[in-house]
Amino acid sequence: MEKTWRWFGKKDPVTLDMLRQIGVEGIVTSLHDVPNGEIWTAEAIREIKDYIELFGLRWSVVESLPVSEAIKYGGSDRERLLENYKISIANLGKAGVKTVCYNFMPVIDWIRTDLHKPNGDGTYSLFFDPVKFACFDCCILARKGAEKDYPEKIMKQVYDMDRSITEAQKDELIDTIIVKTQGFVSGNIREGEKNPVNLFKQLLALYDGIDKEQLRANMKYFLEQVVPVAEKCGVNLCVHPDDPPFPVLGLPRIVTSEEDIEWFLNAVDNPHNGLTFCAGSLSSGLHNDVITLAQRFAKRTHFVHLRSTEVDADGYVLEASHLEGRGKVIELVRIFERENPHIPMRIDHGRLMLDDVNKTYNPGYSFLGRMYAFAQVMGVMAAVSSGQ
Ligand code: DNO
């Protein structure tokens, strides 16, 4: 697989010069300054591509070309936004950027409740705590009927938490769940937003009455529109699985399981309609076995995210060290190197370690933590390719 790295543009404290030194071959990035829904012009694409190439690297993957909410819920602006999306894909294809990752998660992208969960060895991991999340939903958003979505065991702890949580802790939870993890991945809420909870509630309201079937219909419509353009321009589209892979906040999520993956691949059965195999997201659902999924979908995978998780029966999800846990990274490398050896892969997230704690990075995207995992995976790849 091609060794790639997610880079957040010229403002990223991790520079392309640093990446060149550690064996990165390709860059995964987005036009982070272009507002969601607007056309990615040939000039803007060319500018960033040329910059990457100055360092002897290539722009391998777009992560992400964001899908606007109105496309996902089927709003009145959908046709215009779809046209813009198609033009952006065509411009990328013409520029030679041929792998485009996106997601189809309503309102909120990946979800974490803790950005600094201490590990026993002094490092920190990202974490999903179902009690904190339910508390955010039931007590902070106060979503109508939310209590019914959680098991009694969790709700008992939520009521306790509601009695003891301070205003500062509430603010931190809000900031973690809907601000810090969202803005930098082209999400809906950016740092500095004055009233993130209000804005978030307005976004949730857009999905009133949209169930799983309707969201599937909207995704199929999206795929029917954009896949032919991708095919014509030689672009491989690859949807990122929902993280975590289950419905949240009363919103449907439709890229969560083997059945879902099969569904969207068949919805428009074309090789340009593919999957981003995110081992972390998929493994965080106990219903998923990543080995089975990789064996089944490797040929329709265009991009791989290597990461692992530890999950318990109550739904606590810890981002594990990359070679341990349910992500089964070693076996995945074996499968993808055999079945689809030319696709790009990147290390997804890293623990916060050593000097990382003194720097300001986007959550999950510290330098040393990711470099450590990158070196581990390069070792695995070398062993696999030498037949070990
Ligand atoms: C988080 C990321 C996601 C991912 C998008 C892809 O670290 O894995 O935000 O980039 O869902 O569209």
Q: Which ligand 1 atom is the nearest neighbour of the CA of 6?
A: 10
Q: What is the pLDDT of residues 158-200, one digit of tens each?
A: 999 999 999 999 999 999 999 999 999 999 999 999 999 999 9
Point out the ligand 1 atom lying closest to the alpha carbon of residue 364. 7
Give the per-residue pLDDT at 388.
Answer: 77
Q: Report the pLDDT value the prediction gives residue 222, as an integer from 0 to 100.
A: 99
Whether residue 64 is preceded by a cis peptide bond, meaning omega within 30 degrees of 0, is yes
- Confidence (pLDDT) at 297: 98
- pLDDT score recorded for residue 72: 98
For the question of whether the overall pTM of this predicted structure is more than 0.95, the answer is yes
Please report which helix (H) or strand (E) contains residue 196, including its range: helix 196-205
| Ligand 1 atom with minimal separation from the 305 CA | 8
| Whether 329 contacts 321, CB under 8 Å | no
| Residue 63, pLDDT score | 98
Residue identified by tokens 């009695």 is 163
Task: Return the residue whose CA atom lies nearest to atom 1 of ligand 1.
Answer: 110
- pLDDT bin (cut points 50, 70, 90) of residue 210 is very high
All residues at 6 or more sequence positions from 169 whose CB lies less than 8 Å from its CB, including other chains: none
What percent of the chain lies above the pLDDT cut of 70? Answer: 100
DSSP states along 143-191: -TTGGGGS-HHHHHHHHHHHHH--HHHHHHHHIIIIIITTGGGT-S--T
Cα–Cα distance measured from residue 137 to residue 135, given in angstroms and rounded to the nearest whole number:
5
For every residue of 298-333, which 3-state class applies, written as one string?
Answer: HHHEEEEEECEEEECCCCCEEEECCCCHHHCHHHHH
Q: Which residue segments constitute the domains of the chain, with CATH numbers given?
A: 2-110+210-311+324-385 (3.20.20.150), 114-205 (no CATH)
Whether 348 is a known active-site residue: answer yes
Of the residues 305, 322, 356, 372, only one is catalytic, namely: 305
Mean pLDDT in residue range 274-298: 98
Q: Which of 85, 260, 278, 361 is catalytic?
A: 278
Residue 171 to residue 155: CA distance in whole angstroms: 21
Options 272, 302, 322, 349, the catalytic residue? 349
Index of the ligand 1 atom closest to the CA of residue 102:
12
User: Tens digit of pLDDT for each residue in 111-154?
Assistant: 999 999 999 999 999 999 999 999 999 999 999 999 999 999 99
With residue 68 as reference, give the H or E element that holds it: none
Residues 178/196, Cβ–Cβ less than 8 Å? yes
Residue nearest to atom 2 of ligand 1 (CA): 110
**What is the C-alpha to C-alpha distance for residues 39 and 83, in angstroms, rounded to an integer?**
9
Considering only CA atoms, which of 127, 129, 147, 151 is closest in space to residue 137?
A: 147
- Strands, sheet with 317-320, edge to edge from the N-terminal-most edge strand: 114-118, 124-128, 317-320, 308-311
Identify the residues whose C-beta falls under 6 Å from ligand 1.
63-64, 101-103, 109-110, 185, 240, 348, 364
For residue 305, indicate whether it is catalytic: yes
Average pLDDT over residues 236-262: 98
Q: Which one of 103, 219, 284, 346 would you pick to mutate in the ligand 1 pocket, going by the greatest count of ligand atoms within 8 A of its CB?
A: 103
